[in-house]
Amino acid sequence: MKTPKTHSSQLVYEGFFNMRKDRLVREDGETLDFTCLEIPWDAAVIIAQDVEGRLVINREYRHPTGKYIMGFPGGRLEEGEDPITGGKRELYEETGYKSDELTLIGCCYPIPSICNQKIYFIHAKNAVPSKERKLDPFEFIETELKTEEELKKEILSGALIDGILCTALWYKNHATH
């Protein structure tokens, strides 16, 4: 398969993330414009289970939707940060839980049609609550514990969920570690 060539690239917005417009040239010579969302960091999602096997779940206010959405804890990795280290940090900051049994179980590009961000999935076993969490000012999060069966029932009943949650569950149940 032939990859289109980038004829030109223009930054059209710079901020928390960047927007870039590329002019692509196909093999047949046709040109087309393509808009890309540049996110300068990768992210980690943590599928944490407490000592009883219950999943640590967040309900987080996601402003673009105006709603609280259910998902796993996670967030952006700092520049050069290892996904396990970043996942451990994000789990603590968002939930107050800690685990020393973290394993990288997969990764994906969640919206490659417009974005370059990669998400790493980390499984954390035997998570225990510790001190208070350290939420960022724009994070509005309620943390809950659910069995996997309870979570699946809630998803199937139409609960508002982050799409990454389903990918994370798939990795949890299919990765060999």
Q: Domain containing 75 — which CATH number?
A: 3.90.79.10
Q: Is the pLDDT of residue 78 over 70?
A: yes
Are both 19 and 61 inside the same structural domain? no
Banded model confidence at residue 67, pLDDT cuts 50, 70, 90: very high
Number of domains the chain contains: 2
Quick: pLDDT tens for 1-20: 788 999 999 999 999 889 99
Whether the per-residue pLDDT at 176 is higher than 90: the answer is: no
Share of the chain above pLDDT 70, in %: 99
Q: Are residues 131 and 107 in the same domain?
A: yes
> Does residue 78 sit in the same domain as residue 108?
yes
* Domain with 57 in it: 43-174
Q: Record the pTM.
A: 0.90
Do residues 76 and 126 both lie within one domain?
A: yes
* CA separation for the pair 91, 59 (Å, rounded): 14
Examine the domain organization and report whether 71 and 111 are in the same domain. yes
Quick one: average pLDDT of 51-71?
Answer: 95
pLDDT of residue 175: 83
126: left (phi over 0), alpha (psi -120 to 50) or beta: left
**DSSP assignment of 10-41:** EEEEESSSEEEEEEEE-TTS-EEEEEEEE-SS
Same domain (yes/no): 75, 148: yes
If residue 115 lies in a helix (H) or strand (E), which one and from where to where?
none
pLDDT of residue 131: 78
Residue written as token pair 């640590």: 56
Please report the pLDDT score of residue 139 as a whole number.
Answer: 83
- Both 33 and 92 in one domain: the answer is no
For residues 30 and 55, membership in a common domain is answered with: no
pLDDT digits (tens, 9 = 90+) for 141-168: 999 999 999 999 999 999 999 999 999 9
Same domain, 73 and 145: yes
Q: 168: exposed, middle or buried (C-beta count within 10 Å: 0-12, 13-18, 19+)?
A: buried
Is the same domain home to 108 and 127? yes
pLDDT level of residue 136 (50, 70, 90 thresholds): confident
Q: How far apart are the C-alpha atoms of 166 and 51, rounded to whole Å?
A: 22
Note whether 29 and 51 are same-domain residues.
no
Clarify whether residues 13 and 83 are in a common domain: no
Is 70 exceeded by the pLDDT of residue 177? no
